[in-house]
Amino acid sequence: MAPELWTKGHVSQQADVYSFAITLWELATGDRPYKGLNAARILHRVMLNGGRPVLPLWLPPAFSRLVVQCWAQRPKERPSFPEILRRLDTITSGASFHVEVIRLF
């Protein structure tokens, strides 16, 4: 949940961009952000201290920069979705990916 939603309760495209960044992080890492923290601690970490999940060093630098910009504390500093799509297209063009399928059941 974007920091501004905690204070203003205002839903916006910029708040969606923040959520998209968290989703990108989850997809890249296969993990949950803020694992083991309750809502009060997450609120304190994200809103008051600007805390974000740690980006693994193995991620492509351009991808990491995009995620960091998308979850910027100030909504006006976040890119638009057309810009995000353009940058993701650039990042993924010519890239090769290794996908590991995890059997859950």
Name the residue type at position 85.
Answer: L
The CATH number that domain 3-92 falls under is 1.10.510.10
pLDDT value of position 4: 76
pLDDT tens-digit readout, 9-52: 778 899 999 999 999 999 999 999 888 888 888 888 777 778 89
Q: Is 33 exposed, middle or buried (0-12, 13-18, 19+ CB in 10 A)?
A: middle
Residue 10, phi-psi category: left (phi > 0), alpha (psi -120 to 50), beta (remainder)? beta
Question: Is residue 56 over pLDDT 80?
Answer: yes
- Residues 64-84: pLDDT tens digits? 999 999 999 999 999 999 999
